[in-house]
Structure 1
Amino acid sequence: MRANPSPSWQHDPCPDWCVITHHENDLVEDRFHDATSVSVPVVLAGSSALEEVDNSDLFLALFRRVGSDDDWLHISAPEADHGGFTVSLTSARRLGDALSRLPGSGPPP
């Protein structure tokens, strides 16, 4: 249970994974539940050829808009030219299942 009382606009409790302290004066567009982000080390192919590779990290951020039941996963790479992409958590799980069925996939080293 959180020590701080919920603001008047928050009608449902935070999910267990929410690390945000919500305030009465939070702007409507900023009212999200956010989990602690996870960093995953990856090797990224360069934009011009697969021979160009770079060690990097992907950042995974789970969030939910306050008042919604839909969980979303935002995936981004800090050095990418775009802002990443966001998929529903259900879609992310389907993606994980599909990745595990790809030829040559197995447990990580």
Structure 2
Amino acid sequence: MDSDDRFTQGFKAGAALHVGRFRTGTGGRPFWQEAPCPTWCAEQHSDGEMYDDRSHFTDEESVTLSTERFTGSGPSELRLSLWQHYREQEPRLSLHKDESHGIYLTLSEAIRLSEALAQLATVAIESAEPPTSERPKRALKSAA
């Protein structure tokens, strides 16, 4: 039986991280993780993760940006994922273009952005249709 305290177990796990992942906490979780991961988390956490690296995140979705300049490694992409440090209350949406630092949106900001994008796309699509006397002009709603 190992008589090391949890700190020592975590330290040893961190030191041995290169040979495998260790989880000495409850329910097969790392010692620092009190609750299970969100269902969307794609990370396999371990005891040896540094504090700043203790985050939940999804696999990235990417959108090829066909009107952006071609980069040295291929077309530009917008990469999206959910990200949440294990001590935070809710996730944030992470948006990155190519290798940039990107931006992080709260869930309410992400919903507002998606509504604004959908509204602008709808206006553009409708303006490309032939005009009819039955269809009134649509105006953009002002941001709330």
Judge same fold: TM > 0.5, yes or no: yes
The alignment's C-alpha RMSD in Å is 2.0
Structure 2 match to 1:75: 95
Structure with the largest fraction of helix: 2
Structure 1 residue 43: deviation in Å?
Answer: 3.3
Structure 2 match to 1:39: 62
Structure of higher RCO (CA pairs closer than 8 Å, 6+ residues apart): 1
| Residue 133 of structure 2 is aligned to residue 104 of structure 1 | no
| Residue 32 of structure 2 is aligned to residue 9 of structure 1 | yes
* Equivalent residue in structure 1 for 2:85, among 40, 65, 79: 65
The answer (yes or no) to whether the contact 1:62–1:73 under 8 Å persists in 2 is yes
The answer (yes or no) to whether the contact 1:73–1:88 under 8 Å persists in 2 is yes
Gaps of at least 5 residues in structure 2 are 1-22, 127-144
Structure with the largest fraction of strand: 1
Structure 1 residue 56: deviation in Å?
Answer: 2.1
Structure 1 match to 2:110: 92
- Identity fraction in percent: 30
Task: After superposition, give the CA deviation of every residue in 1:37-85 in whole Å (9 maximum; x if it has no partner).
Answer: 001112345xxxxxxx555211112111102222111111116xx4221
Q: Write the distance in 1 (CA, Å) between the matches of 2:36 and 2:95.
A: 26
The answer (yes or no) to whether the contact 1:99–1:105 under 8 Å persists in 2 is no
Normalised TM-score (structure 1)? 0.74
Q: Write the distance in 1 (CA, Å) between the matches of 2:102 and 2:67.
A: 14
Normalised TM-score (structure 2)? 0.58
